[in-house]
Chains A and B, each alone.
Chain A
Amino acid sequence: MKNKFIQSIFVIAVGSMLFTSCKPKDSGDAVSGDAAQKAYVAPGKYDEFYNFVSGGFSGQLSVYGLPSGRLFRVIPVFSVDPEKGWGYSEETKPMLNTSHGFVPWDDLHHTEMSQTNGEVDGRWVFANANNTPRIARVDLKTFKTAEIIELPNVGGNHSSPFITENTEYVVAGTRFSVPGDYVDGDVPINTYKQNFKGHISFVKVGKEGEMDLAFQIVTPGVNFDLSHAGKGKSHGWMFFSCYNTEQANTLLEVNASQKDKDFIMAVNWKKAEEYVKAGKAKKQSVKYVHNKWDEKTHTATSETKNEVLVLDATALKDICYMIPCPKSPHGCDVDPTGEYIVGSGKLAALIPVFSFDKLQSAITNKQFDGDYSGISVVKYEAALHGEVKKPGLGPLHTEFDAKGNAYTSMFVSSEVVKWDIKSLKVLDRVPTYYSVGHLCVPGGDSKKPFGKYMIAYNKITKDRYLPTGPELAQSAQIYDISGDKMRLILDFPTIGEPHYAQAAPADLIRNNGQYKFYKIAENNHPFAAKGEKEAKVVRQGNKVHVYMTSIRSHFAPDNIEGIKMGDEVYFHITNLEQDWDVPHGFSIKGANNAELLIMPGETTTLKWVPDRVGIFPMYCTDFCSALHQEMSGYVRVSPAGSSVPLTWSVGTNQPKI
């Protein structure tokens, strides 16, 4: 089982199922006659929405069409991807650099699209790395990861990367509190309560998307699970769900499930900003890296940073408040008006909905219930708008439509429940197959949801597809939510384990300056060859730089001799095409890393260290033309110290010796 808490819940679930004998309906009941028509996008027609789905433990981001469920692309983010040479080419290697060195994998949980005025704007998608804490920004002009910033003081970057109304900040709460990097971490684990601290990070986002770790807020040690930004009237606030307020450090499935209520932490980030400006933050020395992709040099750079500003939430009394929330809150979602904050106690039998107005007056009138390790705890009733009674078992995440409805995923009872935000009445429920986690409604966490579809991302697939051994395809399901009743219209498999996802109208993205190819004249790669005339081979000691070009249907040069054992060969390949969708590939026998996939006008480098004497064929790996099979060449490797001169050619043979 994927999540630990399932195991403890399982007993409850089976018990209650027997008790109420609510046997899950089969899909036949849920699918109506015209479902296929609703999900059908005819060949040659475009989908209505792009769907950006987290790849979970695959570390990647996948792009689907809605409502067809067709997979368009897998964007490599935190994991190496031999298909695109990501993390293998010399240019992309720095993107996966961390303070721990080159980390070729991560656990990507959540995607969040940039917003302007609280509305999805189609510029970027942010994604979190859970394991080695990082945040990535994917540029939607190129569908490429443009930037990755590491987060210090953090363990398990889970409540991340949620953004504020105008993409001022991307925030990240630590899932595992740990001693900060700036203190001695060599402490007994059972001193959790004294020594373990939570750090939540506010990463500033610039005009061109560039990220900068602005400040962190240090909190008592708890587990931050998810977060969402306030909007409209609650703009300037951020809400984080916390569990393990018991501050247990072992057997959390039992020891972190003791309290009847944990918290949603409300953070006044505007106030925090003021404190940072007023110099109330401490400079702490830490180590983290910031990796950036340059679209002109087609090369990433990795920069190490050594400082972070930290605000103490327990010392500055008016930036953080705890709102009690039953029980082990997981999701924490804010409705489109910004007034209602929905907590989801994954072990709770109800859904608490808090009111931002009530929270504000509770804070003003000091309706507190003591404090939690120095942070004021607001009285539950004082902040509560109301509770959704008997919604189902295991509420996890809530998304919203434009009509005042909320949709909450129920993990244990495997269903999605639709309810009215104001009246808190349950309006409809529909089964999912099986154990649903996150949900996505296009624009469903913004001020302007587009509605129409709701997609459930499931943790378990069981009988949805043909079996493929012990591990089955991960699954998502699309529901039509345009009517009063939710209707299942399609299942589609996903990569990795799908967590959160975002969706936006197709035109918003494809008309937002989408690249067709890179202009060769603007290629500033230091090893670019902007025409066959510039193709050459240069020896620098034992390093050999091959300035190679590729165009339908040949490489230049395609015969290289004079490489010797002990050499490190760098193939810098420039794709000379200036035509849409004509990438070329490159591979060479015995290469220990991967192939390259080079976009038109781009330059990419493969490092190759020959391991034996002989002739090594190289060829194009991406079908490019009728003469694709002919797109190949040879490299001759001679023994170390051999007198074979360095020569290269294309179209002419070297004179016989």
Chain B
Amino acid sequence: METTKISNSSKVLLLMVAALFAGSLFVPLWRIELDAPQYPEGLVLQLYPNKIGGDVDVINGLNHYIGMATLHTENFFEFSVLPYIFGAFALVSFVLIFIAKRKAVLGFFITYMLFIIISAADFYRWNYEYGHNLDPNAAIKVPGMAYQPPLLGYKQLLNFAAYSIPDTGGWMLGGSALLLIMIVLKEFKFRK
């Protein structure tokens, strides 16, 4: 049996990975939930592959008190490239089923892991930028205060409790990462 070829079950998993990548194009990837006493129903900022969604207008309206810049989809180059990246990932996963080479799968897995790390760094950079770059003429100035949302998890920002968590698409991408790990483990560790 040729050992550079991946198994049929891995191919099925690859098909699932392709489907998850394709599916994530249409749903929000990430969400930042904001809770405050005067917003009992909560506010949410949703990051799609191609746009900012959720209560973005309301949040922009509130940001002016602390001098935070307003959020606009067109100010982020990410939204113009992310759909292509996910589309490409879906395509590559699909093509890998036919290439069916272990090394190719490994290469893709590493690429994807790198992408995740870069994305997290990019997200952190934006959060830092928005949280720290405040208008000196803002109405409310709290000494030493920055409004950088957490990369993942919870943080109190004045009266708002901010939760930064994956949304549907984020879980789908997480799922595809898990599936890729399974494939790689299966192909390299358990198939001697």
Q: Which residues of A contact B (CB under 8 A)?
A: 551-552, 577-580, 625-627
Contact = CB atoms under 8 A, between A and B. Distances in A.
A451 B62 CA distance: 45
Contacts of B64: 552
A552 B140 CA distance: 14
A626 B41 contact: no
A367 B62 CA distance: 75
Contact of A626 (B55, B57, B139): B139
Contacts of A577: 61
A481 to B, nearest CB: 34
B58 interface: yes
Nearest to A627: B139
Given A626-B65, A627-B65, A578 B139 contact: no
Contacts of A625: 65
B41, B61, B139, B140 — most chain A CB neighbours (10 Å): B61
Given A626-B140, A627-B139, A551 B65 contact: no
B61 A580 contact: no
Contacts of B65: 625-627
B72 to A, nearest CB: 13
Contacts of B139: 626-627
19 contacts: A551-B61, A552-B61, A552-B62, A552-B64, A577-B61, A578-B57, A578-B58, A578-B61, A579-B55, A579-B57, A579-B58, A579-B61, A580-B41, A625-B65, A626-B65, A626-B139, A626-B140, A627-B65, A627-B139
A551 B61 CA distance: 8
Given A552-B62, A578-B57, 14 more contacts: A551-B61, A552-B61, A552-B64, A577-B61, A578-B58, A578-B61, A579-B55, A579-B57, A579-B61, A625-B65, A626-B65, A626-B140, A627-B65, A627-B139
A627 B61 CA distance: 13
Interface residues of B, number: 10
Interface of B: 41, 55, 57-58, 61-62, 64-65, 139-140
A577 B62 CA distance: 11
A625 B140 CA distance: 12
Contacts, number: 19
**Which of A552, A577, A579, A627 has the largest number of chain B CB atoms within 10 A?**
A579
Contacts of A551: 61
Across the A-B interface, give the 3 residue pairs with the lowest CB-CB distance, nearest first.
A579-B58, A578-B57, A627-B139
Nearest to A579: B58
A627 B140 CA distance: 10
B33 to A, nearest CB: 16
B164 to A, nearest CB: 22
A432 to B, nearest CB: 38
B182 to A, nearest CB: 44
Nearest to A551: B61
A552 B57 CA distance: 12
Contacts of B55: 579
A627 B58 CA distance: 16
Contacts of B140: 626
A552 B64 CA distance: 9
A572 B150 CA distance: 42
Contacts of A580: 41
A577 B57 CA distance: 8
Nearest to A581: B38
Contacts of B61: 551-552, 577-579
Nearest to A520: B57
A530 to B, nearest CB: 12
A201 B55 CA distance: 48
Contacts of B62: 552
A626 B158 CA distance: 14
Nearest to A576: B61
A626 B142 CA distance: 15
Contacts of A627: 65, 139
Contacts of A578: 57-58, 61
B145 to A, nearest CB: 15
Nearest to A552: B61
Contacts of A552: 61-62, 64
A482 to B, nearest CB: 31
A285 B102 CA distance: 90
A453 B177 CA distance: 59
B7 to A, nearest CB: 52
Contacts of B57: 578-579
B104 to A, nearest CB: 48
A577 B55 CA distance: 12
B171 to A, nearest CB: 29
Nearest to B64: A552
A446 B20 CA distance: 53
A625 B58 CA distance: 13
A577 B58 CA distance: 8
Contacts of A626: 65, 139-140
B42 to A, nearest CB: 12
B180 to A, nearest CB: 41
A129 B165 CA distance: 55
A627 B137 CA distance: 14
A520 to B, nearest CB: 9
A551 B139 CA distance: 15
A579 B61 CA distance: 9
Nearest to B139: A627
A554 to B, nearest CB: 10
Nearest to B57: A578
A625 B159 CA distance: 14
A12 B139 CA distance: 71
A603 to B, nearest CB: 17
A580 B62 CA distance: 13
B73 to A, nearest CB: 16
A627 B139 CA distance: 8
A552 B55 CA distance: 16
A214 B14 CA distance: 68
B36 to A, nearest CB: 12
Nearest to A625: B65
Nearest to B56: A578
A396 B64 CA distance: 59
A552 B58 CA distance: 11
